[in-house]
């Protein structure tokens, strides 16, 4: 289970990190596009370490979600965002960095090199907030992440009906059988709830649940997510 941090300033983030860590997620995601100081690189790098300390050392995923993929609008251009990700990798405060695979390949390569150099796991992601592409296209995105050198592939879509949800799960299952790297997938919104609860059964490695606040539509509170995941796991491990 991963819980996002979405506070706007440093005191808010440190308080959020401590409070959300106490809910028992396996890792935290700092959604830095919500942070008002995103343009101050040194402050972001130091804050990442401080967040990790405030969370008692829980693994930290650093994510800037672009506006076109469902994030907050920010004043930085993409070159500056890639430079920020590289600086954060070098700063030693984060365990994983999420970068969207659709950006300029030169930026993807630069973030990948920094992640490799500093022992940070690279998540290459794609989010469709408008709809759900066909299964082959979804598989293509997951394969693209692997081909670009990701350590983890991530895919989020917005389903319009349960057929879209099935397509996301089908792509997840097929990719989990063939990709050389782990993947994370989810369908967002109310229709996608089943993917947050049962995605693991189809090969998704992580489910996002809300701590103090959600970072995307459809995230359920961590405590409810844990109940659902536990029930399903128990049922799937039952022998008779
Ligand atoms: O990519 C994801 C998944 C997500 O979009 C979700 O739907 O839970 C939430 C984001 O914060 C995260 O970066």
pLDDT in tens, 162-177: 999 999 999 999 999 9
CA dist 125 and 33 (Å) reads: 15
Instruction: Copy the structure tokens of residue 237.
Output: 């491990």
Domain CATH for 90: 3.20.20.70
Using the 8-state DSSP alphabet, how is residue 210 labeled?
Answer: B
pLDDT band at 64; cut points 50, 70, 90: very high
234 annotated ligand binder: no
Q: Active site residue: 8, 52, 118, 127, which one?
A: 127
Please say if the pLDDT value at position 239 is more than 90: no
Please say if the pLDDT value at position 240 is more than 80: no
- Look at the block and give the residue holding tokens 């879209």: 164
Closest CA to 46 of 91, 83, 12, 98: 91
Tell me which residue range forms the domain holding 164. 2-235
Q: Does the CB atom of residue 215 touch ligand 1 within 6 A?
A: yes
DSSP secondary structure letters along 157-196: E--SSHHHHHHHHHHHHHHHHH-SS-EEEEE-TGGGHHHH
In this structure, is residue 112 part of a structural domain?
Answer: yes
User: For this structure, is 52 an active site residue?
Assistant: no
pLDDT digit string, tens, across residues 72-96: 999 999 999 999 999 999 999 999 9
Q: Does the CB atom of residue 33 touch ligand 1 within 6 A?
A: no
Task: Specify which residues 124 forms β-bridges with.
Answer: 99, 153
Instruction: Copy the structure tokens of residue 126.
Output: 């794609």
Closest CA to 24 of 235, 236, 234, 230: 230
- Look at the block and give the residue holding tokens 């998704």: 204
- Report pLDDT for 65: 98
pTM of the full structure = 0.97
CA dist 43 and 60 (Å) reads: 16
68 annotated ligand binder: no
Q: Is 126 helix (H, G, I), strand (E, B) or coil?
A: strand
In this structure, is residue 176 part of a structural domain?
Answer: yes
Question: Is 50:14 a contact under the CB 8 Å cutoff?
Answer: yes
Best of 34, 61, 65, 159 for a ligand 1 pocket test (most atoms within 8 Å of beta carbon): 65
Overall number of domains in the chain: 1
In this structure, is residue 195 part of a structural domain?
Answer: yes
215 annotated ligand binder: yes
In this structure, is residue 161 part of a structural domain?
Answer: yes
Mean pLDDT rounded to a whole number for the chain: 98
pLDDT digit string, tens, across residues 82-136: 999 999 999 999 999 999 999 999 999 999 999 999 999 999 999 999 999 999 9
Q: Tell me which long-range contacts 73-80 makes (C-beta under 8 A, separation of at least 24).
A: 74/33, 74/38, 74/39, 75/38, 75/39, 76/38, 76/39, 78/103, 78/104, 78/107, 79/107, 80/39
CA of 151 from ligand 1 middle (Å) equals 17
pLDDT digit string, tens, across residues 203-215: 999 999 999 999 9
- Report pLDDT for 185: 98
Instruction: Copy the structure tokens of residue 94.
Output: 């984060």
Using the 8-state DSSP alphabet, how is residue 69 labeled?
Answer: G
- Look at the block and give the residue holding tokens 């996301």: 168
Closest CA to 1 of 138, 204, 170: 204
Q: Does the CB atom of residue 28 touch ligand 1 within 6 A?
A: no
Please say if the pLDDT value at position 181 is more than 90: yes
- Report pLDDT for 41: 98
In this structure, is residue 240 part of a structural domain?
Answer: no
In this structure, is residue 226 part of a structural domain?
Answer: yes
Percent of the chain with pLDDT over 90: 99
């Amino acid at each position: 289970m991963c819980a996002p941090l979405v506070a706007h300033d440093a005191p808010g983030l440190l308080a959020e990190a401590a409070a959300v860590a106490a809910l028992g997620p396996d890792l935290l995601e700092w959604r830095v596009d919500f942070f008002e100081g995103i343009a101050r690189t040194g402050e972001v790098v130091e804050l990442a370490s401080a967040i990790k300390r405030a969370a008692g050392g829980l693994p930290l995923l650093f994510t800037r979600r672009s506006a076109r993929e469902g994030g907050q609008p920010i004043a930085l251009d993409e070159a500056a965002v890639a430079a920020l990700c590289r600086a954060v990798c070098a700063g030693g405060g984060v365990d994983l960095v999420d970068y969207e695979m659709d950006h300029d390949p030169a930026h993807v390569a630069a973030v990948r090199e920094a992640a490799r150099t500093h022992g940070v796991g690279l998540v290459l992601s794609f989010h469709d907030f408008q709809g759900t592409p066909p299964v082959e296209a979804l598989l293509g995105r997951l394969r693209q992440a692997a081909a670009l050198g990701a350590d983890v592939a991530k895919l989020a879509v917005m389903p319009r009906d349960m057929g879209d949800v099935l397509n996301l799960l089908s792509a997840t299952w097929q990719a989990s059988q063939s990709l050389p790297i782990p993947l994370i997938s989810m369908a967002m919104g109310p229709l996608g709830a089943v993917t947050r609860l049962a995605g693991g059964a189809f090969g998704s490695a992580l489910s996002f649940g809300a701590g103090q606040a959600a970072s995307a539509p459809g995230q359920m509170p961590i405590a409810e997510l844990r109940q659902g995941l536990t029930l399903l796991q128990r049922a799937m491990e039952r022998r008779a």
